[in-house]
Amino acid sequence: MEMETYGSMPKIELHAHLNGSARDSTLLELARGLGEEGVIVFSDVEHVIRKSDRSLTEVFKLFDLIHILTTDHKIITRITKEVIEDFASENVVYLELRTTPKKNISIGMTKRSYMEAVIEGLKAITSVDVDFMPHDVDARSGLNSLSTGRTCNGTSRKKIYVRLLLSIDRRETTEAAMETVKLALELRQFGVVGIDLSGNPIVGEWATFLPALKFARELGLCITLHCGEVPNPTEIRSMLDFLPQRIGHACCFEEAEWKKLKSFNIPVEICLTSNIRTNTISSLDVHHFADLYNAKHPLVLCTDDVGVFSTSLSGEYKVASSAFGLGKGEMFQLARNAVEFVFADDGVKRELREVFWPGLSGQY
Ligand code: 6MZ
């Protein structure tokens, strides 16, 4: 029953990694195919994909495997389409999907061609209306994306806004990070709104990424950082002092960092199942969600990697509601608050506020 409530409730997803959100069934099909070609041994890989409890270190090993399976233009297009369809089917009305542009010379893949494959995936969706172009570009090209998409010839049709974030992987050099930022700038007309810094938190130095992140900011791109997935007070403080528009996780903060975060009022993307599964937080009883929620700190519930952690955004809402004793009205309010933290333009924010029209809250 509760799951149905959160399934039908409109929701906003701001922290979802493309390759971490691929369906298990798709990954298994791809692994079987590569097994038949003799590229991998399927039986070695199958249990790795099916396993759901993994440490943070194991998660990054799994990503290396997923990337072997998916780093191909056609497959990237396919998983982008499937991931967006899956989020739309559980009434996510706005999705900020992030992915790390990849270069693989041996198959003729550049960071740009990788992103073009992602954009192809956005365009290939027919089961739901996908709004991904910035509205000022739509106006120039005469496209009307301002329709609500809720009715079409009298029949109601689902609509999802999708915007893209390009991720810098912590394994990358300053030059590689810079290339990603330049690409983000070129692809703004296709809905790229910002930059994310992610990847294995024990790899890489903040100073390596700072020039590219500063450059991104100068160009007007929004920035979100994976911050505090492991204890590293110096890095956490430098990240907060950079004043990103949002941060993800905030698991390993000490008193001084909490103070800074709260005084800067930086919204936090909270990924409950991910934090528990990776053992970054030992149990929901001690999760920082409760303290931040009680302090009215800006928060948004997110999934991180629905495929890797076998979750869904509705599932995250259900977990939060039962772990922290929040009613449906409070959960609706939490979903609605996220409108203010999206990186899309004000026109989209206005339309999203309409989706979360106050009258609707009576249903929850
Ligand atoms: C840090 C994460 C992550 O970019 O290939 N990623 N980075 N912490 C996490 N929490 C568990 N989950 C995913 O998607 C997969 C990539 O996203 C980042 C990692 O860099 C991973 O390789 P894309 O689409």
Residues 349, 352, 353: CA angle, nearest 5 degrees: 85
pLDDT at res. 146: 36
- 229 flagged as catalytic: yes
pLDDT at res. 157: 82
pLDDT at res. 134: 86
Phi/psi for 73 (5° steps) reads -55, -50
Distance CA 193, CA 174 (A): 20
pLDDT at res. 306: 96
Q: Is the ipTM of this complex over 0.90?
A: yes
Residue nearest to atom 19 of ligand 1 (CA): 199
Mutation pick for ligand 1 pocket among 14, 15, 17, 311 (CB with most ligand atoms within 8 Å)? 17
- Give the distance (Å) from ligand 1 centre to CA of residue 201: 10
Closest ligand 1 atom to 70 CA? 5
What letter represents residue 81's amino acid?
Answer: K
pLDDT at res. 135: 76
- Give the distance (Å) from ligand 1 centre to CA of residue 200: 8
pLDDT at res. 264: 98
Closest ligand 1 atom to 56 CA? 11
Distance CA 216, CA 276 (A): 32
- Give the distance (Å) from ligand 1 centre to CA of residue 154: 41
Residue 1 neighbours by CB under 8 Å, 6+ apart: none
pLDDT at res. 322: 97
Residue nearest to atom 6 of ligand 1 (CA): 199
Bridge partners of 222?
194
Mutation pick for ligand 1 pocket among 61, 198, 275 (CB with most ligand atoms within 8 Å)? 198
Least Cα distance to 84 among 14, 148, 161 occurs for 161
Closest ligand 1 atom to 305 CA? 12
What single string gives the DSSP state of each residue in 238-298? HHHHT--SEEEE--S--HHHHHHHHHHT--EEE-HHHHHHTTSSS-GGG-THHHHHHTT--
Least Cα distance to 332 among 95, 16, 96, 11 occurs for 11
Report in angstroms the alpha-carbon separations of 17 from 14, 105, 215, 358: 10, 23, 23, 31
Q: What is the 8-class DSSP label of residue 38?
A: T
Distance CA 353, CA 293 (A): 21
Closest ligand 1 atom to 67 CA? 5
Query: Is the four-CA dihedral 128, 68, 97, 330 of positive or negative sign?
Result: positive
pTM of the model: 0.94
Distance CA 88, CA 13 (A): 10
| Sole residue written with tokens 């930086």 | 266
The pocket around ligand 1, CB under 6 angstroms, is made up of 17-20, 59, 63, 99-100, 167, 169, 198-199, 226, 229, 274, 278, 304-305
The residue from 229, 235, 257, 316 that is catalytic is 229
Tens-binned pLDDT, residue by residue, of the chain (364 aa): 567 889 999 999 999 999 999 999 999 999 999 999 998 899 988 888 888 778 888 899 899 999 999 989 999 999 999 999 999 999 999 999 999 999 999 999 999 999 999 999 999 999 999 999 887 655 444 443 333 344 445 556 899 999 999 999 999 999 999 999 999 999 999 999 999 999 999 999 999 999 999 999 999 999 999 999 999 999 999 999 999 999 999 999 999 999 999 999 999 999 999 999 999 999 999 999 999 999 999 999 999 999 999 999 999 999 999 999 999 999 999 999 999 999 999 999 999 999 998 666 667 7
Tokens of 245: 């528009």
318: Cα within 13 Å, side-chain hemisphere: 14
Q: What is the 8-class DSSP label of residue 20?
A: G
Contact 284, 273 (CB under 8 A): no
